[in-house]
Amino acid sequence: MASKSVTFYDLQVSTGATISPFVWATKFAVKHKGLDLDIVDGGFTGIMDRTGGKTERLPAIVDDGKWVLDSWGIVEYLDETYPDAPLLIPHESVAVMLKALDAWFWGAAVGPWMRSYCADYRDVCFEHDKEYITSSREVILGGKLEDLQQGREDRLPAISAALEPLRLALRENDFLGGSSPNYADYRIMGGFLWLASLAQTPALAADDPLRPWYQRVCDLYDGLGNHPGLFPIFGLEQREGDPDLFMRETVMGGINKRNTGPASTQAETKFINKQD
Ligand SMILES: N[C@@H](CCC(=O)N[C@@H](CS)C(=O)NCC(=O)O)C(=O)O
């Protein structure tokens, strides 16, 4: 039996790839529910025309004639409307923790990457979007895109190094959802795929421990994240004087260091009491 489709308003660049992290996360969310995407193509300008005045921002979907706006609004709608399909937010705690994780990820990575790739962002857009993207992003970012992007090679290593909390979780689990993906994976992946839609130089090391998870999520739903228009985000070289791009050995502390009795802590106890 053919699966049901929802009309999906995409936000694309000249390669045909989706750019927006919100739109990427929502594409995965719709597929997670077993629904197909009936894509309405388009870039940044003309969103109001394409959607008949329904919205200035994307994503937006139409399901059985009902317009649903906003990435988080769409996720809530999908779980409410299709409760028998796998849940995107399987427990209210996932929403609470994901909002905290997402806020950290934007501060640590998406924002700094935006300032390091803002001219690439404009250059990859459709010709007819470039003027709008230049003027609007210069207002948002507070400067000329070329000036802001300049010197990014000195900033990218520290952004990569800051992603250690994700590596800690994803070294031990296939997905942020545990053994199977949920909306946490799609939401965070949205930021990586946004970067991949525009990056003219990689942001992460070739052997970054996040890479297997990145590929695992890209491969879901017949390779939804393997769009040919995406650029490589792995391949950043560490230069002399750069911070390590990631921690080669996981330093287990706090919540990750299980106390199973004195045998598990005595080496540390000896060390802190200066006994040998
Ligand atoms: N809160 C909204 C934010 C969506 C949003 O900001 N989308 C941006 C793309 S990342 C957009 O549509 N921009 C159109 C524009 O810049 O004119 C959501 O979660 O869906």
* Joined tokens for residue 202: 């990689």
Domain locations in the chain? 5-81, 92-254
Residue 71 near residue 27 (C-beta atoms within 8 A): no
Pick the residue whose CA is nearest to atom 1 on ligand 1: 70
We find that the CATH architecture of domain 92-254 is Up-down Bundle (1.20)
- 5-81 homologous superfamily: Glutaredoxin (3.40.30.10)
Residues framing ligand 1 (Cβ under 6 A): 11, 20, 22, 44, 57-59, 70-72
For position 3, what pLDDT does the model report?
Answer: 85
**Structure confidence by residue, pLDDT tens digits, 196-254:** 999 999 999 999 999 999 999 999 999 999 999 999 999 999 999 999 999 998 777 78
Q: Which atom of ligand 1 is nearest to the CA of 59?
A: 20
Pick the residue whose CA is nearest to atom 15 on ligand 1: 44
**Probe target for ligand 1 pocket from 24, 58, 140, with the most ligand atoms within 8 Å of CB:** 58
Pick the residue whose CA is nearest to atom 12 on ligand 1: 57
**Structure confidence by residue, pLDDT tens digits, 9-43:** 999 999 999 999 999 999 999 999 999 999 999 99
For position 1, what pLDDT does the model report?
Answer: 55
Overall average pLDDT of the 108-135 stretch: 98
How many angstroms separate the CA atoms of 133 and 125, rounded?
8
Single-letter residue type at 54: K
Q: Which atom of ligand 1 is nearest to the CA of 26?
A: 20
Displacement of CA 265 from its chain's centroid (Å): 37
Count H helices and E strands in the chain, helices first: 13, 4
Short-list 112, 122, 113, CA closest to 144: 122
Q: Which residues contact 263 (CB under 8 A, 6 or more apart)?
A: none
Q: Which atom of ligand 1 is nearest to the CA of 133?
A: 16
Q: Which residues contact 76 (CB under 8 A, 6 or more apart)?
A: 89
How much of the chain, in percent, has pLDDT values that exceed 70? 99
Pick the residue whose CA is nearest to atom 19 on ligand 1: 71
Q: Which atom of ligand 1 is nearest to the CA of 45?
A: 17
- Give distance in angstroms: CA of 57 to centre of ligand 1: 4
What are the b/e assignments for 22-55, b being 16+ CB within 10 Å? bbbbbbbbbbbbebebeeeebbbbebeebbeeeb
Pick the residue whose CA is nearest to atom 14 on ligand 1: 57
**Residue keyed to tokens 């421990």:** 209
Pick the residue whose CA is nearest to atom 5 on ligand 1: 57
pTM: 0.96
DSSP reduced 3-state for 107: helix
> 223: exposed, middle or buried (C-beta count within 10 Å: 0-12, 13-18, 19+)?
exposed
How many angstroms separate the CA atoms of 232 and 194, rounded?
12
**Structure confidence by residue, pLDDT tens digits, 39-75:** 999 999 999 999 999 999 999 999 999 999 999 999 9
**Probe target for ligand 1 pocket from 8, 9, 22, with the most ligand atoms within 8 Å of CB:** 22
Measured in degrees and rounded to the nearest 5, phi and psi for residue 62 equal: -125, 120
Pick the residue whose CA is nearest to atom 11 on ligand 1: 57
Q: Which atom of ligand 1 is nearest to the CA of 55?
A: 12
**Probe target for ligand 1 pocket from 9, 12, 13, 20, with the most ligand atoms within 8 Å of CB:** 20
**Residue keyed to tokens 């992603």:** 163
